[in-house]
Amino acid sequence: MSFRKLNILHISDYDDNVVINMAVKRLEAEDISIEFGTAKSILEQDADIYIVGIDKIDNQIYEDLKKKSERLSVKYIFYTKSEDIRVATTFSRQNLTNLFLIPFELQKFKSYLEESVKGFEKPTVTKDISEAHIRSAIIGSSSIMMEKILIAEKIAASPSVNILITGETGTGKGLIAKLIHETGPNAQDPFLDINCSAIPINLLESELFGYEKGAFTDARTQKLGLFELAGNGTIFLDEIGDLDFEVQAKLLRAIDNRIIRRLGGIEDIPVKARIIAATNRNLLKLVKENKFREDLYHRLSVITIEVPPLSERGEDALEIAEYYIKSTAAALDKKCPQLTDEVKEFIKLYPWPGNIRELKNAVERSLLLLEGNIIQKKDFFVDYTKKIKELELTKSRTKNISLEIDPESAELQAVIKEYCKTILEKFDNNKSKTASFLKISRPRLDRILNDTEK
């Protein structure tokens, strides 16, 4: 496809723009002009694509861009280093869905920028391109993961259906939630990610539902809750198992009746957002212990997606490691190093109890400390020798297993439970290592041990 001269202008409030500048300069070619300017450049220079670094809601750069958009047809790509959820929410409500959190969404930023350049003569980004971005963020090609992705994409078309995503910490539950949102009909609306365990209990209710002026001592103005701010988008309730029991009752009302009421308010406000919840805990067990409402559990789990741990995903671990090696090397402006065969074998065999998060941290550490261009076993882990011994111990501990059961009367489920209990004992009651050895998820192991496996 041929382009006329394409002008890209990068403007930012930030002092450190090395990572973004590198991503932009990769596109430099004869038919692409790239300039790096200041806030004044917006009013003084015209460009086809503006790449804008923005760190606060009342940013003058954004105001100047709005003025320019009234007289020119241009494309904006925003990025921010702010982790304040209100920044992303405010821009989303302005239809600025092409906003990326750096460095966490650097790869998505690069992909979006490349697609914008390729489709310059067709400036409207199609739904298919957007889907490709989030789909590419889920790395790996194992059949078990492909099955989960297909389920997510299938149910994305029904925004009124509540979804529960389960799985161990670090398995990518948030990515599955984003995939559902971005492949659904309301992808242009906000996606609000709320960690229920990270917000203090006394603030969580006001964050979710908002409050009226005078509702309590410090309520000097009205505050909109995240359910309102989400509009027709998606509310992602991460770590739902840690939600306070009293707040659970109000969440149930919001889901059941599709309405909320601000603290101190009397007006019922309709809830339009899709609701996706996620947890690494066994909610059924919490229900039995009266720590989680059974009615809320059933409302949330109309559709349940269990994300498999890395140990169940075959050679995905190596594919993920190689992906993070390339992206981390690019971010650090280093030549992409190679893995030795010994390290590759270790990556495939090690159970990764911390899942993708642990693997990513190991990769980043190795590149930060690496001398040379080959990652060896001593680079990959500080305690590599210890982890090799753990791996060998995993194999040796489970060579001979004996079960005390009556073969004439025992049901299959009882035999499975007894076997799981025996393996658990051999791993000193470490459920993560037990589940990894059995090649099942931690939640499924809990269900087997608690006799709730169907």
Nearest to 434 by CA among 422, 416, 450, 418: 422
Q: What is the CATH number of domain 6-123?
A: 3.40.50.2300
Collapsing DSSP states into helix, strand and coil, what is residue 32? strand
CATH topology of domain 136-308: Rossmann fold (3.40.50)
Average pLDDT, the chain: 78
Residues 285, 451: contact at Cβ < 8 Å?
A: no
CATH topology of domain 398-454: Arc Repressor Mutant, subunit A (1.10.10)
Contacts of 342 (CB under 8 A, 6+ apart): 376, 377
What confidence tens digit (pLDDT) does each residue in 231-288 have? 889 999 999 999 988 889 989 989 998 999 888 988 888 988 999 999 999 999 999 9
What confidence tens digit (pLDDT) does each residue in 366-380 have? 888 888 889 887 777
Q: What is the pLDDT of residue 223?
A: 83
Asked if 6-123 and 136-308 have one fold, the answer is yes
Assign 128 a pLDDT band (cuts: 50, 70, 90). Answer: very low
Q: Is the pLDDT of residue 124 over 50?
A: no
What CATH class does 312-392 carry?
Answer: mainly alpha
d(CA 195, CA 58): 26
Q: What is the pLDDT of residue 88?
A: 60
210 beta partners: 224
* Percent residues over pLDDT 70 in the chain: 74
Using only C-alpha atoms, the chain has a radius of gyration, in whole angstroms, of 25
d(CA 16, CA 14): 6
Q: Is the pLDDT of residue 115 over 60?
A: yes
Q: What is the pLDDT of residue 389?
A: 55
Q: Is the pLDDT of residue 307 over 90?
A: yes
The token pair that represents 300 in the structure block:
């949330």
**DSSP secondary structure letters along 271-315:** --SEEEEEESS-HHHHHHTTSS-HHHHHHHTSEEEEPPPGGGSTT
Assign 419 a pLDDT band (cuts: 50, 70, 90). Answer: confident
Contacts of 380 (CB under 8 A, 6+ apart): 343, 346, 362, 366
Q: What is the pLDDT of residue 438?
A: 82
Residue ranges covered by each domain of the chain: 6-123, 136-308, 312-392, 398-454
CB atoms within 10 A of CB 44: 8
Q: What is the pLDDT of residue 421?
A: 87
CA atoms within 13 A on the CB side of 5: 5
pTM of the model: 0.59
